[in-house]
Chain A
């Protein structure tokens, strides 16, 4: 087992996939992912990776994973709403084959961001200005959340831009 720590922004999916594909070429196959931590197994084979995102759409894991397996993709691991798949065949590496379904995918990510963002924005923008500081711990939490807010906003803007791009394509 080889563990590597690496950081990728969520919208840099392509780079992350490229990284995993490169590792696979060098004989390191992904088996597990945990916050910035990639666990690889040493095996000589060639895998091509793809990510899917599902959270609130009531995925029945069994049926979902079976369908992907039938489509030529092996389930590697799950992290939060992210599902990582690998395929031996470069030809079947795409998870979506039309614009309509790609758009749905971006919508799911944006919905997730909106729901997670709500408490953050509420605290920083509405609750904090009306509170006076009491404890030290609370002020640390306050600083962390205040830093998180612009990052969250940035992620939302990036995904909105990617979502909008799918509208500029003429083909469905």
Chain B
């Protein structure tokens, strides 16, 4: 069991996007691209999530954007990676079980 699980969809996607260092705007773009435009992170949700994730050491600040000093760059920590892997296992199980019971997702 991971004490941060289950994550909200926003939190999960933020962690996934931070496999490489990104600033807030980069995260919004990356998540939008990953979800084919379905999930557009709202600024308040993102800001709250970044503060929370950093406080819990799931992500860390690794510097500032050279083009704009007001943008901090974040990246996932090893604890964060463990959490994402745990969530992937949990979510896959959910999907598998749904299919096993005859739902096909259409």
Chain A contact residues, CB within 8 Å of chain B: 52, 57, 62-68, 70-73, 92, 94-98, 100-101, 104-105, 172
Contacts and interface: CB of A to CB of B under 8 A. Distances in A.
A97 B47 contact: no
B8 A98 contact: yes
A132 to B, nearest CB: 49
* B interface majority secondary structure: helix
Given A64-B47, A172-B8, A172-B9, A97 B42 contact: yes
Contact of A95 (B11, B28, B42): B42
B42 A67 contact: no
Contacts, number: 73
Contact of B44 (A52, A70, A172): A52
Contacts of A64: 47
Nearest to A105: B44
B82 to A, nearest CB: 21
Given A63-B70, A101-B49, A172-B8, A96 B44 contact: yes
Interface in B43-62: 43-51
